[in-house]
Amino acid sequence: MSRIALLLLSSTLLAQPPEPPLAKPIANYDITAVLDAKTHTVTGHETVTWLNDSLDSVSSLQFHLYMNAFRNSRSTFFKESGGQLRGDQFKGDDWGWIRVNSMRLEGSADLTSAIRFIAPDDGNAEDRTVIEVPLPQSVRPGQSIRLTIDFTTRLPMIFARTGFHGDFHLVGQWFPKLGVWETAGFRYSTRGAWNCHQFHANSEFFANFGDYKVELTVPSRFVVGATGEQVRRVDSTSNQTSTYTFQQRSVTDFAWTTQPGFLRVERLFAADKETSFDDISAAARLHGISSDDARLSDVKMIALVQPEHREHIDRHFNGLRAALKWFGLYYGRYPYKSITVVDPPYGAGGAGGMEYPTFITAGTMYHLPPDALTLEMVTVHEFGHQFWMELVASNEFEESWLDEGFNTYSTGKIMDNVFGPSSLPIQVFDMNLWSLLKLPRITQESMDRAGHVSSPRRDDLVRRAWEYYDSSSYSLNSYMRTGVTLRTLEGLLGTPTMDRVMRAYHQRWRFRHPTSRDFQAVVNEVSGRNMDWFFDEFVFGNRALDYAVASVTCVRQRTPMGLFDKDSALSMVSRKDAEARDKKLDKDKSFKPDYLSTVKIARLGDAAAPVEIEIRFTDGHLERRQWDGAYRWAKFTFQRKAEVESVLIDPARKLQLDVSYANNSWKKKFNAPLSAHWGANVLFWLQNLLLTLTSIA
Amino acid sequence: MHAATALSSAFRRTAARKRMVVLYWFTHTLCAAVAALPLLGLAIPQTAHSLYGDEMLRHFDLMYLAELVNAARDSAVGVGVMPGMLSILLAMLASVFLAGGAVKLLVRDDARYSPGEFWEGCGRYFWRFLRLALYSLFFYAIAFAVSGAINKAAVKLWGEGMVEAPLVHATWARQALLLLLLGFVSTAMDFAKVRLVADDSRRSLRACFGSVRLALRHIATVLPVWLGLGLVLALATWLYVAVANRVEAVSMGPILGLFLLQQFYVAARVWLRMMSWGAAAALDPVLRPPAPEPKPEPEPVVEAPPETPEPGPAAQEDFSI
């Protein structure tokens, strides 16, 4: 077949001399792939170079074939998900699969026939998402090997983070990808072994860093976006295709998208314009670094947006700008040159809200109200994964909280600070009822805490992702409860210390693979406090935290009666005398009696944390007490010439894990307006509901 | 008679019987209280002596709802579900019961109100109206089925597509149509009630179908009545929302003001409900004129008997034939 390649100068950038890698490249991939847009099939050729960076001799390789999760209903993914995930139902017969056509070790024999499927997690013989290939010779420590693999991938209907819908394609988890060799001492390993989990319903991914060069050939009318930077585009007029070359060093994965209808908009995040001198100085001061180290770098922002969401282009960029700025100032500058955000079309919701290195998918809806900030939130959140999934490449299979939860915490901070609280889109005839009725707007912090408070505690925070009680428990613990847990930690350590902890953890583990224990060590080190108890209770355990004002009594002190020592003799105050004196004092309006006030605080939950208590008296006096919170209850007594007016546990709301704020305080005066207001409102809404229902009768 | 005249007559008839409006409002309030009290019984003790309650008086914290869910996890049936169901059931029965008395009085185009007649109507038409309410479910089901079918068709046409706009527009159109259909059925059932009372008939099923036929035949008259009432309701709602959103209800004065405003709005809804019956009562004689009196059979002309002797038994028999 004759192929005339046309080099388009306008859209072609020859590869610049490669910059040094940011991370030690362990698994490098050089892939050429051709998309058949009609059959949604990718035919690929991959050269993978693997460096044995351990002290072990490795006799076999393990690869993920993630796309086989969608091969049939007997895969582990389907068994666990029941064919539905994140609100999407798998329908029809558009199954996805990947087939390794050949695998060859450079300078050695064909390994194809030696490939065998394994199921290290659940032993499901019908799962085809992990393969093992014995090597003719072990790979020695420090040695690199190179394999060439021919593969064919058929995309499923858009379902779980990958697939096609119409002519939209999101191509993720699409090529044979090496597992991670974990030598003794690496993360939790006690001996060298592959960490190569099957594709589960409740899980994401884990991989080594490496350099990627990928050539993608698609029909010319298709617009393409991908991980990394586009360095070349070659159009072929003979078969109406275009070949795009993307390169990115020091990432853990590569994903791409293509659709003819995308609106492609490119803008620059100009770091010096987006951040003020004060922003940089404050970050430098807080973290004890130079202004140069705190300064951010310019980033090319690319948005691939659906035409019907044209009005939301700015909102995508607003989300990206806020995220680039604040993630950069909090944790360190974003080190890559570009970030691409993809807006999946209607019907491809399963592709939305997903993260890959330098490439994220967001999601919006037709006529999304401007005060419903879901688009901004998803954009900020997915960008945040660049910091907690990509740069700090934790194992999402085994410790999802380190990515999703840390990101929930960071997203909440940025959303609440930059964009403020949001309404929810409840639309009737293009009117947002939420705004119309002026319902209270919601912060991310509230959303997370509402999830934490209203959901049962079925699991510890940290578990292997597929071993949570169910998908709700996985989501709750990996996202919301972690957000609340980290905010509680922030409350206990103080915001500046927590900011230093998070940055130190991020910087120390950038381009590495930390565990929960590594984070714990950073917390203890940076804060200078032993917070092991906190991790035992709330991270590796899941205890309920609930402090309550149990009782408040104020007893007016009367004249003492009985026998008393006086001048070395016994003196008696008779009951009659005492009562007479009290009667007299009662009549004296200028007399201020003493009150013995007793405040009892109860620990209703099984978790204990140090807690502050604030007691306010009717004369305005304020007493503060610290309690270690350890025993079931604590009693505080005061003798003053005033009664207790109010008691407040945890006045600064440091303990966001506390499941009830309502019982954290007590005040003497009955809040009649609140009762009246709520009574009136509840009655009113019920009256209206009944009037509507009875209009049929 | 056109819609405006019917509405004006309905207003007159309702205004003349304000006590019915008060009674209907009071009954609904009682039924609402059945569901409201357990909820408030859970929330008020938690918050009325809490500083958190003070905060929420100014800015309601939606997180508190999560606390309520957590607190009522084991008693949700007792606190929410059972009282809610009971409240709806009571309101339904009370509404059917009171409608009998109300329609009976509204059918008459005068200003008379007699408690005796009202209660007599309540009892007299209760079973008829209850049957009617059950039959009406068939037509409401049709309205929802039509809406569902449109939704299904829209999903079939555009659901697998990549563009959301046509589906959203179809949803708006469907919502509007559903509203119109529900309004039509509701109006037709108002006519059925009036028919049962005016004819003092027990044939609820016949009244139900007959009224739907009647409303269909005279849709140009009937629907504007419902649209007129709907417009007034929309206006009242807009007014309520506009004012309520501006009330800073943090002390007893403004709270009392808000409460009065809310109850005024509820009373306005009750008033409009009565007016919809009044309009049906005003239109019924026009749209369904009484059948003309059957012409009396012409008297048989009896010829004078011939002067004959007293007829015998046989002759008498012949005459009777």
State ipTM: 0.89
Q: How far apart are CA B21 and CA B274, in angstroms?
A: 7
| CA–CA distances in Å: residue A217 to residues A222, A472, B150, B305 | 10, 39, 42, 117
**H-state helical runs in A494-568:** 495-509, 516-527, 532-534
Torsion sign, CA atoms B12, B15, B19, B23: positive
Best residue in A304, A346, A552 to probe B by mutation, most B CBs within 10 Å? A346
How many percent of chain A have pLDDT more than 90? 87
Please report, rounded to a whole number, the percentage of residues in chain A having pLDDT higher than 70: 97
**Overall domain count for chain B:** 1
Tokens of B105: 């009085």
CATH architecture of A262-542: Orthogonal Bundle (1.10)
Q: Between B314 and A370, name the one with better pLDDT.
A: A370
Using the Cβ of A94 and the Cβ atoms of chain B, whether some distance falls under 8 Å is answered with: no
What is the pLDDT, as a whole number, of residue B316?
41
Cβ of A449 and B31 within 8 Å?
no
Is B36's CB within 8 Å of A679's CB? yes
Q: Give dist(CA A326, CA A341) in Å, integer.
A: 17
Q: Just give the CATH number of A1-261.
A: 2.60.40.1730
Establish if B200 belongs to a structural domain: yes
pLDDT for residue A393 is more than 70: yes
Comparing C-alpha atoms, which of A160, A181, A177, A15 is closest to residue A87?
A160
Which of B31, B52, B53 is closest, CB to CB, to A690? B31
In chain A, residues 409-468 whose CB comes closer than 8 Å to chain B: 428-430, 436-438, 440, 442, 446, 449-451, 453-454, 456
DSSP class of A510: T
Q: Residue A399 in 3-state DSSP?
A: coil
CB contact under 8 A, A697 and B43: no
A547-672 has CATH 1.10.287 classification: no
**Chain B residues lying within 8 Å of A672, measured CB to CB:** 48, 252
Task: Extract the tokens encoding A587.
Answer: 């009549």
Give first-to-last CA distance, chain B, whole Å. 51
Please tell me which of the candidates A454, A677, A688 has its beta carbon nearest to residue B66.
A454
A671 touches chain B (CB under 8 A): yes
Taking the Cβ of residue A92 and every Cβ of chain B, the question of whether any pair is shorter than 8 Å is answered with no
A691 touches chain B (CB under 8 A): yes
In angstroms, the separation between the Cα of residue B113 and the nearest Cα of chain A is: 23
* Closest partner CB to B49 (pick from A666, A679, A688): A666
Say if B52 falls within a structural domain: yes
Higher-confidence residue of A134 and B319: namely A134
Q: How many helices (H) and strands (E) does chain B have?
A: 12, 0
Provide the token pair at A428.
């009737």
Asked whether residue B280 is domain-assigned, the answer is yes
Residue A605 has pLDDT above 90, yes or no: yes
Q: Are A176 and A260 in contact, with CB atoms under 8 Å apart?
A: no
Of residues A438 and B91, more confidently modeled:
B91
Using a 10 angstrom Cβ sphere, with 0-12 exposed, 13-18 middle and 19 or more buried, the burial of residue A662 is: buried
Structure-model confidence comparison of residues A657 and B73, the more confident one: A657
Name the closest residue on chain A to residue B52, using Cα atoms.
A662
For chain B, percent of residues with pLDDT exceeding 70: 90
Residue B318 has pLDDT above 50, yes or no: no
pLDDT class for B306, splitting at 50, 70, 90?
A: low
Per the prediction, chain B carries an average pLDDT of 88
* Model confidence band, residue B298 (pLDDT cutoffs 50, 70, 90): low
Are B91 and A693 within 8 A, CB to CB? yes
Strand, coil or helix: what is A242?
Answer: strand
pLDDT tens per residue, range A607-619: 999 999 999 999 9
Could you read off the pLDDT of A141-184 as tens digits, one per residue? 999 999 999 999 999 999 888 999 999 999 999 999 999 999 99
Q: What residues make up the domain containing B270?
A: 3-286
For residue B87, give every residue at least 6 positions away whose Cβ sits within 8 Å of its Cβ, in sequence order, or none.
A686, A690, B31, B32, B34, B35
pLDDT of residue A86: 74
Instruction: Give the pLDDT mean for A435-447.
Output: 91
Residue type, A442: I
User: How far apart (Å, rounded) are the C-alpha atoms in residues A155 and A169?
Assistant: 8
Q: Supply the pLDDT for residue A233.
A: 97
Please provide the average confidence, as pLDDT, over all residues in chain A: 94
Taking only the tens place, the pLDDT of each residue in A152-162 is 999 999 988 89
Name the residue in chain B with its Cα closest to that of A423: B62
Residues near A446 by Cβ (< 8 Å), separated by ≥ 6?
Answer: A421, B61, B62, B63
pLDDT, position A4: 42
The C-alpha R_g of chain B, in whole angstroms, comes to 28
Whether B175 sits inside 8 A of A429 (CB atoms) is yes
Stated as kind and residue range, the H or E segment containing A57 is: none
- Cβ contacts (< 8 Å) between A663 and chain B: which residues? 46, 50
Do A262-542 and A1-261 have the same topology in CATH? no
Mean pLDDT score, A216-231: 97
Q: Is B73 helix (H, G, I), strand (E, B) or coil?
A: coil
A680 inside 8 A of chain B by CB: yes
The residue assigned the tokens 């030690």 is A24
User: In chain A, what are the domain boundaries?
Assistant: 1-261, 262-542, 547-672
Is B99:B119 a contact under the CB 8 Å cutoff?
Answer: no
pLDDT value at position A566?
Answer: 85
Q: In which band, very low, low, confident or very high, does the pLDDT at A1 lie, cut at 50, 70 and 90? A: very low
